[in-house]
Structures are given as C-alpha cells and as structure tokens.
C-alpha cells in the first residue's frame, strides 16, 4: 500500500516512496508513538489509539494501529464519512486522528529546537519547511474532512467520540495565529459547528457536551471580535442559550462567566462598554440581568461561584460609565439583591439571605458593591439593616457596612432621610445579650454589649459629619424622642440618649413638647438602671458596676445640666409617684412599686 503524498503523522514523515512492506528499523518504530492525549481527551476515549503492546501495521515506514468500537482498524478498514457539504468521502478514521494529533505535537511556529526534537534524528528538516509542510499538507486534509460525521449511525457512544474529535479540530483552528483570515467557506464551516455545539437543542447528553465545550467557551470573546455582525449575533445567541440553560454550579457556567467577564471588561478586549454595537449590547444586558438571580439561586452551596459572580458585579460597577446602559443595569441589580441580604416575611419575622452564611472574603466583595450603586434604594437599606442586626454577623463586617454606606452617602448615593432612618433603626432595634444569655458562638460565651457601645459611637460620629450640629438636631429631635418614648430596653435607650446629647447644647435645643415627653420616660429609665445593674452586681466587681452605672446615667444627667426645665419636669413626675404611694398607704392599701408602675392590693 502506498500513499501518493507526504503527510506528517505524529512525529513521522510518511514518504510515498517507501513501500508498506519495507518497514523501518526498530529504533525508528519505537519513536513513532504519539501522545495519548488530544486536547484534554485521551486517544482511547476517542477510539483512535491503542496501548503500546497492541498489534501494529506498517504503513510508509511507520508502525501504528487504530482501535475503533472495540476492533482494530488498519488503513484497509476505511469508513465512510460525510464532510460539511454532506457529500460522502472515503477517509480512514485514523487519518483524521493522526492529523489532529500531529498538529498538536508539531504545532505552528515552534522553535527550531522543539521541532527538531519531535522528529527522528535522521529526518530533522528545517523548522520553517516543517511548519509550511504542516500548513499546506496536513491542515488542508484536516479542514477538508471537517466536521466529521458518520454516514451510518452506530451508537450514541460513537456520536460522542466524533463530537470530541470535532471539538479538537475546532480548537486547532481557533489557535492558529492566522486563523482570522481564512477562506469564507472554511470559516463558515467552523462557525456553524460552534453554533450547533452551543445550542441546547441538540444536546441529548448535556453533561457530556458541557464538559467538552469548555475549550470553545474560552475562545468566544476573541472569536466574536473577528467575525461579521451576522455571525456575531448567531454565535452570541447560541452562547447565551448555553449560559442560561447550564447547571448553576457547573464548570460550564463558570467558563461562561469568565467569557462574559472578558466581553464586559474594557481593559481586556475592544468590546468596550459604550453600547456602540446594538447586537453586543443586547446580549451584554441579558448577561448582566442573569447575575443577581444566579447569585440568589446559588445560596451558600457554592462559595466559589458566588465569589466569581460578585467579583464580576464589582468590576461592572467600577467600570460602567455614568448614565450608560450598563450603569442603569447595575443599579437595577439592587432590587433583586435585597433577598441576597435578607427578606422580611412579616413585620416581625426576618429571613436571612445567603450573605450571612458565606465566607468573609465573599461578604467583603458584596459589601464593596454597595458603594457603586449610583443610588441606594430604601428597601435595600432595610434589608441591610436586618443583616446588621443578625447576631451571627461578625462585628468587623457590621462596621465595614457602616463604613461603605457612609462613603456612599458622602458621594451622594444615599438620600439623607434614608441614611438617618438606617442609623436610627440600627440603634433602636439592636438586641444586646448579657453575658449569661448570649448564645454560644465558636465555643465562647460572650456579650455583644461592647459591640453595641462601639456601634453607638460610630453612628454618632457618622451623623455628626453630615452637617452642622443645629441642623442635624432639627432633623433628629422628633425621631429620637419618639424612639425613646417607645419604651426601649435600657441599652437602646442609653444609645439614643447619647445620640441626642451629641447634637444638643447648653442651653438645650429641646422643644417644650420633647421635654414633656421625656419627663414621663426618664424616671422609668433611671429606675431601670438601678434595678438592672443591681441584679448584675453579683457577677462583677464593684468598680465595673460603678463604671456601668456611670455609662447609663451620664446621658440624662447631661440633659438635666443643660435644661432646668427638663429636670423640674422629671422631679415633678417622680414626686407624683411618691404622693400616690403615700395616699394609697393612708387608705390601707399595700402598694407594690416597680419601675414607675403602681399595683394596688388591698390588705388581707
């Protein structure tokens, strides 16, 4: 058997002048083994290579053997294939396998040393001649038989093998340095194959296809830049279908995300985010809108995917030009991302989102995203404040949220009313756990009272920087007084009083209405301090107990010092309590007094 032309097969130059019976030396035969992997798929998986100890056939001075469907095929065992035009053509299956493998071994543009190493010692041609020979001879055959299709369907496994081989050939085509100037018919053959491969309609074995499509996905950004707008639309449509329909936690989804990152990042490619190409813009918007639902769907099951999605969102927020379609789409993400932080099922029940359960590095990325919203919706702030109130949130992340939101406010991204509401809600609803009742976290029982004191200081500092003290006081007075009069726990009331005195002055800025309302609440607060601190005295030293009393008593004493009117009103209320007790005793009733409440019980 003779070949009529020279073909590089693996590392061998098959000479048409050599007869099949005139085999080479043992030394030569031992060096003709091809690598066992083609583009990530083993040759045995493709069905076109065999173990080294298998029976070999001699062809043109080189020994080789082909295994296909469990049987050994020599060049005489040819099968009928169909080319891209649908015409039958006689090609041995090993020919296609050798051609693709030979390209991956020899490559295009290798150095002289690399190319010579791949060839037997007595057959080391000039590197340039070798490369040209590969281009003209081997690639011509490779492109001519692409895509491979069996005329007679034999099994699903055969179809999968042919698909794998076509993927390898497509990889070769995309990796060529001069592939961007192929003939139009040749380019269309590959584009049609890529389009069909990405389409979910033909993927009967979806998992298998997704696994072997990964190399093609990574080439999509470069490919779409070098083809016509007609083909760009078709390829992007198929790519988008693949992205939308693959498993949220699959490697295919991550590969698509990486490609999308390139097609949205102006620093990587020329698909700049200016919306100049309507075709690209439409698909870019589809991809951006898919990110928040995907993040919610992932939950905390796959932190790697969640981190990748959030990283892309962060880069999008950082790079999107102001008032562009991308900036608008990024802003609209927050309406879905509310559930990523928390959601409120009713007035009292809160359902925490994946944010609370993810690792700190992922949480940090999501917090950074908040700054780049051109405006932060009040509903998102409500979701965030619920997260801040969660006892499972690490204090460092709580302070990080406060830091980023304050920066966003200073940049004009948050309305002053929404910002004040967020901070006041945080102070008034924060739940302080004493040492003996705080849930065990990481095997260490501790109180969050110290954290709350730090939060109070940060809130006072943030509000003091939003404007002049007297103007801020005018905005805060009624809000704070109303919260104080709502009978908050002692720690929360102390924090609100500290916030009030931060913006008050001497003489006081409190209105008459505020002083009257406070005069009915402060006596109860003072009694609670005495009772609550006394109950905890047995667990703390006297010095700590005194210091704690001072911390709670200092805010009302500041108010009394600044307003004699308020002090007089409070003393009058407390005096009325004493008068009521005395009158009840005189009427032979036993009075139980606690926290300003009088319980009447007749003597028995």
Chain segment 336-375, per-residue pLDDT in tens: 999 999 998 776 788 999 999 999 999 999 999 999 999 9
Report the SS3 class of residue 88: strand
Those residues with Cβ within 8 angstroms of residue 351's Cβ, 6 or more apart along the chain or in another chain:
342, 343, 344, 345
pLDDT at site 598: 52
Please tell me the pTM assigned to this model.
Answer: 0.72
Encoded tokens for 314: 């962060």
Strands 71-73 and 66-68: antiparallel
Give the N- to C-terminal CA distance of the chain in Å, as an integer: 125
What is the number of structural domains in the chain? 1
Those residues with Cβ within 8 angstroms of residue 218's Cβ, 6 or more apart along the chain or in another chain:
255, 258, 259
Nearest to 531 by CA among 501, 556, 552: 552
pLDDT at site 181: 67
DSSP state of 293: H
pLDDT at site 124: 43
pLDDT at site 546: 78
Q: How far apart are CA 6 and CA 307, in angstroms?
A: 52
pLDDT at site 94: 44
Those residues with Cβ within 8 angstroms of residue 583's Cβ, 6 or more apart along the chain or in another chain:
none
Please answer whether residues 453 and 485 qualify as being in contact, where contact means their C-beta atoms are separated by less than 8 angstroms. no
Please answer whether residues 14 and 133 qualify as being in contact, where contact means their C-beta atoms are separated by less than 8 angstroms. no
Residue 89: strand pairing partners: 81
Q: Assess if residue 292 is contained within a domain.
A: no
Q: What is the pLDDT of residues 246-303, one digit of tens each?
A: 888 889 999 999 999 988 876 654 444 445 567 788 899 999 999 999 999 999 999 9
Please answer whether residues 334 and 327 qualify as being in contact, where contact means their C-beta atoms are separated by less than 8 angstroms. no
Q: Assess if residue 134 is contained within a domain.
A: yes
Q: How far apart are CA 380 and CA 21, in angstroms?
A: 80
Cα-Cα-Cα-Cα dihedral of 335, 293, 260, 184, to 10°? -110
pLDDT at site 175: 76
Alpha helices in 372-448, H assignment, sequence order: 378-388, 395-410, 416-429
Q: How far apart are CA 380 and CA 334, in angstroms?
A: 7
Encoded tokens for 172: 């070769």
Q: Assess if residue 523 is contained within a domain.
A: no
Q: Assess if residue 43 is contained within a domain.
A: yes
For residue 183, how many other CB atoms are within 10 A of its CB? 9
pLDDT at site 81: 42
Please answer whether residues 405 and 384 qualify as being in contact, where contact means their C-beta atoms are separated by less than 8 angstroms. yes
Query: By residue range, what is the domain housing residue 68?
Result: 7-20+22-36+39-144
pLDDT at site 553: 93
Encoded tokens for 211: 């696994």
Q: Assess if residue 92 is contained within a domain.
A: yes
CA 535 to chain centre: 48
Please answer whether residues 88 and 78 qualify as being in contact, where contact means their C-beta atoms are separated by less than 8 angstroms. no
Which segments in the chain show pLDDT lower than 70? 1-140, 142-145, 147-154, 156, 177-182, 200-206, 266-277, 347, 435-446, 532-544, 588-604
Q: Assess if residue 26 is contained within a domain.
A: yes
Encoded tokens for 72: 């050994």
Proportion of the chain in helix, strand, coil states, percent, rounded to 5: 60, 10, 30
Largest Cα–Cα distance of the chain, in whole Å?
132
pLDDT at site 281: 86
CA 496 to chain centre: 38
Q: Assess if residue 399 is contained within a domain.
A: no
Nearest to 141 by CA among 276, 295, 337, 4: 4
């Amino acid at each position: 058997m003779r070949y009529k032309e020279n073909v590089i097969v693996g590392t061998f130059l098959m000479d048409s002048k050599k007869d099949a019976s005139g085999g080479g030396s043992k030394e030569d035969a031992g060096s003709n083994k091809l690598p066992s992997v083609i583009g990530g798929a083993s040759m045995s998986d493709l069905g076109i290579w065999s173990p080294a100890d298998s029976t070999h056939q001699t062809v043109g001075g080189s020994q080789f053997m082909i295994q296909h469907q469990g049987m050994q095929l020599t060049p005489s065992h040819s099968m009928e294939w169909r080319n891209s035009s649908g015409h039958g053509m006689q090609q041995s299956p090993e020919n296609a396998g050798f051609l693709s493998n030979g390209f991956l071994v020899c490559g295009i543009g290798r150095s002289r040393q690399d190319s010579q190493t791949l060839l037997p010692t007595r057959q080391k041609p000039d590197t340039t001649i070798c490369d040209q020979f590969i281009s003209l001879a081997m690639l011509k055959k490779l492109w001519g038989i692409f895509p491979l299709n069996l005329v007679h369907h034999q099994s699903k496994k055969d179809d999968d093998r042919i698909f794998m081989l076509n993927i390898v050939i497509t990889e070769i085509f995309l990796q060529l340095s001069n592939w961007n100037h192929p003939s139009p018919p040749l380019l269309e053959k590959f584009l049609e194959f890529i389009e069909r491969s990405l389409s979910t309609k033909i993927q009967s074995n979806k998992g298998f296809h997704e696994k072997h499509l990964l190399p093609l996905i990574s080439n999509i950004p470069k490919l779409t830049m070098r083809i016509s707008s007609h083909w760009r639309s078709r390829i992007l449509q198929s790519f988008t279908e693949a992205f939308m329909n693959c498993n949220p936690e699959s490697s295919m989804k991550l590969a698509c995300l990486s490609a999308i990152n390139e097609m949205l990042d102006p620093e990587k490619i020329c698909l700049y985010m200016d919306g100049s190409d309507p075709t690209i813009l439409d698909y870019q918007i589809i991809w951006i809108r898919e990110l928040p639902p995907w993040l919610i769907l992932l939950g905390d099951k796959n932190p790697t995917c969640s981190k990748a999605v959030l990283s892309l969102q962060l880069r999008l927020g950082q790079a999107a030009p102001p008032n562009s379609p991308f900036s608008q789409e990024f802003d609209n993400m927050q309406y879905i991302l509310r559930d990523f932080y928390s959601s409120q099922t009713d007035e009292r029940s809160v359902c925490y989102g994946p944010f609370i359960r993810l690792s700190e590095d992922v949480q940090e990325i999501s917090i950074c995203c908040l700054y780049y919203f051109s405006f932060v919706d009040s509903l998102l702030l409500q979701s965030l404040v619920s997260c801040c109130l969660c006892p499972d949130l690490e204090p460092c992340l709580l302070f990080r949220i406060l830091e980023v939101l304050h920066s966003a406010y200073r940049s004009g991204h948050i309305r002053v009313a929404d910002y004040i509401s967020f901070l006041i809600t945080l102070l008034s609803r924060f739940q302080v756990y004493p040492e003996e009742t705080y849930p065990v976290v990481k095997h260490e029982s501790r109180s969050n009272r110290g954290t709350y004191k730090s939060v109070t200081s940060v809130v006072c500092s943030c509000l003091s920087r939003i404007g002049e003290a007297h103007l801020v006081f005018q905005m805060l007075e009624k809000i704070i007084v109303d919260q104080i009069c709502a009978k908050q726990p002692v720690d929360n009331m102390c924090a609100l009083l500290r916030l009030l005195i931060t913006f008050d002055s001497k003489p006081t800025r409190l209105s008459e209405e505020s002083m009257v309302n406070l005069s009915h609440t402060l006596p109860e607060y003072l009694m609670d301090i005495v009772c609550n601190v006394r109950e905890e005295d047995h667990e703390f030293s006297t010095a700590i107990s005194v210091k704690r009393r001072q911390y709670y008593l200092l805010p009302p004493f500041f108010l009394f010092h600044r307003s004699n009117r308020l002090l007089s009103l409070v003393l009058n209320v407390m005096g009325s309590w004493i008068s009521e007790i005395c009158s009840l005793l005189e009427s032979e009733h036993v009075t139980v007094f606690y926290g300003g409440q009088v319980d009447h019980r007749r003597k028995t």
